[in-house]
Structure 1
Amino acid sequence: MGKLLLVGCGKMGGALLEGWLARGLAPADVVVAEPVDAQRPRRPGLRAVASTSEVSETPEIVVLAVKPQTMDAALPDLKRFADEGAVFLSIAAGKTLNYFAGHLGKTAKVVRAMPNTPAAVKQGITVATAAQGVSAAERSKCQDLLEAVGQALWVEDEALMDPVTALSGSGPAYVFLLVEAMAAAGAKLGLASDMAMQLARATVTGSGELLRQSTEPAAQLRVNVTSPGGTTAEALKVLMAADGLQPIFDKALAAASRRSRELAG
């Protein structure tokens, strides 16, 4: 993976670090810059500092895992690494390749990535796009870093990062809301609220694992559990109606994608 500088070690940065170390990255090959003492990792052989100003050696890859609202403050000190040819891998939502070019220089080698929160359990999926100056070998190294917490895909058109953000970046929240809605509906039918939540959580997580392991498409898995004229079919008449689930998701993802474009400025 090369020599790494991880800037920011919150939930996502910490998940990435754990994934890298689990895949064999030597602690001596990474430096973590994290201003919050409680979030600064303490591992034998791993150097953790409060500020990037304490880092003198140019890393091969700088992973930017700071919050988008603090990125402006983080980049000025890091430009020296861009000038030396380091690759920047950003997981900050809404920060475009053009934004980084404005702060790090037009020739800066930048990869923009959008992971999602299941990365915390190494079941995430990330989509990335790269600036023109990033070589195939450098993309491959970034792929390895991202795959430490799940799957990684690439798009050539950066504009697609907005619908990616709407679908997979924000997607875990939709699934959690589904669990809430299923449990609430079960409680309204007379189930104890704690049992309804237990049933909803187990149903969604179990179905997700079945989907992960199966080679069949989601539509076929749905058909497999739908007996003609049965209870599932009756519920699906509501969910798949013209005013059912699909138009709601169409509207929701369009709103999230639109907001992603607005945040990019």
Structure 2
Amino acid sequence: MSKRKILITGKGSYVGTNFIKWLEQWPDQYVVVELSVRGTEWKEHDFSNYDVVLHVAGIAHVSTDPSMEQQYYEINRDLAIEVAEKAKEERVKQFIFTSSIIVYGDSSHINKKRIIDRSTIPQPSNFYGNSKLQAEEGISLLESDDFKVVIIRPPMIYGKGSKGNYPKLASYARKLPLFPDIDNERSMLHIDNLCEFIRLMIENNEQGLYFPQNSEYVSTSKLVLLIAQAHSKSIKLTKVFNFILNNGLAIKINLINKVFGNLAYDSRMSIYKTNYQIRNLRESILLTETIDKEG
């Protein structure tokens, strides 16, 4: 049986780097090459040698700076579509695009549940989400019998070395003696679970729109508690701040809603025929935090 040849477009990305490491478990099954898509040199690379292109290049973190808007569309939308067009022209069989839950907009208010299901219409609230959604639409138009497109809309991805909101929360968990006890629900996705999901997409030659997530919803308070425990730190969850957070403050401060708001996929959307949710929440936090502590 010949090895599957995978091209990752977006060199040095968090997802791409971890996916390469993940596939090292099957050295006889996969050949992986990373390609930088900065500049124009990538256009000379021969895509016809590959079975799959995994496109992970993009500006990953949300900015509200208007001067960044054009750059978001150029990289997150235009470049993604251009790479997909080249992949199709050079007879690559499968194209995998990593989008984001952010195409559905922001977290809800702190005390308002928000569950996304298959009937939920994407409504981006910023140009990051809009650039991802427009990329999805452009790439989907290229799909044919000979060119299968997989679009993945992951929730917040975390793991050792991840960026974004998770390391900020981890910093609070290691330093604060108290943390608000808020009962919110968020979908999250550990990097190992995502890597296994992508591998299964390739292995099963899939196409379509997918919503992978961990098997458990996460409350911010529980997450902070688990992180603190991984570092043998004592942190107390308290409802003392809840009245202030729930009444007035959350309306005025968007950060509160970002941290304690609700944003979750209906769990039924994320079921796949083969189990990819190989790390439960507690194990994933220990993997992330304990290794960080040692290294």
Class of the TM-score when normalised by the shorter of the 2 chains: 0.3 to 0.5
TM-score norm. by structure 2 comes to 0.40
Q: TM-score normalized by structure 1?
A: 0.44
Which structure would you say has the larger RCO, counting Cα contacts within 8 Å and 6 or more residues apart?
Answer: 2
Radius of gyration: which is bigger?
A: 1
